[in-house]
A and B are shown apart, each in its own frame.
Chain A
């Protein structure tokens, strides 16, 4: 269990222990290390459920973000007038406001009710969390798609129109497939951001990974560092594997030898 990170932090803590004020607490965390790690391991399934919730919220938010963000990006590129302006202003507001404020507003203001699906019920915190993270993600995804849609050469659209495709069809069959492929790197980034920011639903008390970690170390205060390092490791594994998976996806769907004129 003594990974390099723990060793480094142990070194920092031992330096800290030389300092006079309240050093006992930090030192304790390391004296009782074995017991505290045992505490973490014995609660691994509790944290595991939290990790599953984190993944669930991430996936739901990314999907919501895509469903809303893709059309929004398309409106910003191809739309005009009032609709385009409304979409771009909502986007600026969502991108310019801290996610914690968005979540709180979703929770208290929108006041989403608990949703019952028979077997499972979705708590209002969960719904607010997914709505907040999802809509904020939509605002960022719209920028990814806006950039990639407009990066596709105008000649592509024109060629599509020249064989009789309607504007919508030309965008759908010619521009979108190319833009989506180019969106993968930006999407990768967005996925990581959403995954990490699920931790902020802590603010509305949703029992995902970080909240469960907080509950655990509030219960056994000597195990604070062990618990946080453990959940951080889970987050890291999740972001790392997601990134590699999307790398693979990017290579798999790459158009041979890049884009031609």
Chain B
């Protein structure tokens, strides 16, 4: 890859107690790239994602984002997270706040915008994800798909330079997955840099610049979608993709 790598992950390892969950994971991506992490559950892909915004702490290795060392002990993690948006599998919407309240909290409390400015920005982001009608609904009053779109709007409201998606559609009923993927497609078209963990293989195939296959904490294989889907070099990759395909 070119040497202006926007995100460069090098030999990242992590343990939970005695169990090693990441084993010298390396990959890199450029600005505007979409990279999709795939792998069986427990393979460490969600943990890898969380290491990028330090919701999980990698114990060894290096993660450089836009020239800065993410794993440096001196790094201001809050400043890092201001610039890296995250979308969760379980939505994790703030249960006591309306849709606007959820999206406006960051601009208001982290960026220090006024009440009115924060609300304006929140409404704009909600409209961007197609929720112009649901400003004042509480999370419990929204469908799963709508909740996840609020989750995406909440991350976008911080105007991040990198978006992390942690299985954004896994907790959704099949008929609600489409609306979330549609919003994600829109972001790809706008040129957003995205690191995505997902089991949606058709989405991965369509939008990914690179796919990284993780198993048991190791990077087994990585490359452009055509290569991984058509001619996987490793047996394990092929077997995993077959298993996923048979489930679809």
- Residues of chain A whose beta carbon lies under 8 Å from any beta carbon of chain B: 153, 155-156, 158-166, 169, 173-174, 177-178, 181, 255-261
Residues in B83-136 with C-beta less than 8 Å from chain A: 85-86, 88, 90-96, 105-106, 109-110
Instruction: Tell me if B110 and A159 are in contact (CB < 8 A).
Output: no
Sample of 19 more A-B contacts, CB < 8 Å, known A164-B79, A260-B93, A260-B95? A156-B92, A159-B88, A159-B92, A161-B55, A162-B155, A163-B155, A164-B82, A165-B105, A165-B110, A178-B94, A255-B96, A256-B138, A256-B140, A258-B140, A259-B95, A259-B140, A260-B138, A260-B139, A261-B91
- The answer to whether the Cβ of B214 comes within 8 Å of any Cβ in the partner chain is no
Instruction: Tell me if A155 and B88 are in contact (CB < 8 A).
Output: yes
| Contact among B95, B106, B138 for A163, CB-based, below 8 A | B106
- Residues of chain B whose beta carbon lies under 8 Å from any beta carbon of chain A: 53, 55, 78-82, 85-86, 88, 90-96, 105-106, 109-110, 138-141, 147, 151, 154-155, 157-158, 171
* CB-based A-B contact count at 8 angstroms: 86
Q: List, in ascending order, chain B residues with CB within 8 A of A256's CB.
A: 138, 140-141
Instruction: Tell me if B147 and A164 are in contact (CB < 8 A).
Output: no
Known: A165-B110, A173-B109. A159 touches B140 (CB 8 A): no
How far is B151's CA from A47's CA once the two chains are assembled, in angstroms? 58
Q: List, in ascending order, chain A residues with CB within 8 A of B139's CB.
A: 260
How far is B79's CA from A177's CA once the two chains are assembled, in angstroms? 24
How far is B86's CA from A166's CA once the two chains are assembled, in angstroms? 15
Instruction: Tell me if A158 and B88 are in contact (CB < 8 A).
Output: yes
Instruction: Tell me if B110 and A163 are in contact (CB < 8 A).
Output: yes
Residue of B nearest to A255 (CB): B96
Residue of A nearest to B157 (CB): A163
How far is B96's CA from A260's CA once the two chains are assembled, in angstroms? 9
Instruction: Tell me if B88 and A255 are in contact (CB < 8 A).
Output: no
Instruction: Tell me if A164 and B110 are in contact (CB < 8 A).
Output: yes
Q: List, in ascending order, chain A residues with CB within 8 A of B147's CB.
A: 260
Q: Which of A163, A169, A255 has the most CB of B within 10 A?
A: A163
Instruction: Tell me if B140 and A162 are in contact (CB < 8 A).
Output: no
Q: Which of A156, A164, A256, A261 has the most CB of B within 10 A?
A: A164
How far is B171's CA from A153's CA once the two chains are assembled, in angstroms? 16
